[in-house]
A and B are shown apart, each in its own frame.
Chain A
């Protein structure tokens, strides 16, 4: 049973380009979370999605960032017109029922995408 798959593992972009980060949740999981991690810092919540719906995007910057989780295919985190401050590790996590469905529901994380903006 494959875990949470993220690709690419490393992504290099120049300022002003677009970055697309993909996340395939674990089989049977329909809830996806995106987190950003700066060096030497913790994971910062960005967005929570279910299939075709954004549930909570309170951690997403208002501009340039968007996320989707279509009925078919992986979840995509899209960053337009990247700037150097976007350089970070972006982690995706999934769960079967959205962490609140069962009390001890935990998140399973992917290995992350390291975005470097030149």
Chain B
């Protein structure tokens, strides 16, 4: 089975930095993804980690520690438009196929 945990909600201030944590327990781990989802819209890809360490992409960075079953998404220079849900997803191998298993998401509210 699999278990992916993220905080339900977070609040931060415009211009600040926020870190969204994700812990997971899964068999057949094959990578970790972060997606952003605005209310009523499609999830959109933010980042991918398969090896330990930090991946940086503009204002967004994602970190992975496979031994700890832990990842975080770091958002810098927060903007109001960053208010959204952030979904942690583990790619899991099952037999000969792969699928993404999502956590429940973290709702981030950015305040002025």
Interface size on A, residues (CB 8 A): 25
Interfacial chain B residues near A98, Cβ < 8 Å: 97-98
Map CB proximity to B onto A31-68 as digits: 1 under 8 Å, 0 otherwise.
00101000001111100100000011010000000000
Smallest CB gap from A99: residue in B: B98
- Name the A residues within 8 Å of B98 (CB-CB): 98-100
User: B33, A100: Cβ atoms under 8 Å?
Assistant: no
Given A42-B87, A43-B87, also A107-B42 (CB < 8 A): no
The interface residues of chain A, by DSSP majority, are classed as loop
Contact B91 A99 (CB under 8 A): yes
Chain B interface size range: 20 to 34
Bound-state CA distance A55–B35 (Å) is 24
Whether A56 touches B99, Cβ cut-off 8 Å, given contacts A42-B87, A103-B50, A104-B48, is yes
Check if A109 is an interface residue, CB within 8 A of chain B.
Answer: yes
A residues 63-118 touching B (CB-CB < 8 Å) = 91, 98-100, 103-104, 106-112
CB distance from A40 to the nearest CB of B (A): 8
Residues in A whose Cβ lies below 8 Å from that of B103: 42
A58 cross-chain contacts in B, Cβ below 8 A:
94
The answer to whether B43 touches A91 (Cβ under 8 A) is yes
For the complex formed, measure the closest distance between the CB of A107 and the CB atoms of chain B, giving whole angstroms: 6
For A104, the chain B residues whose CB sits under 8 A away are 31, 48, 50
Q: State which of B35, B48, B50, B102 has its C-beta within 8 Å of the C-beta of A44.
A: B102
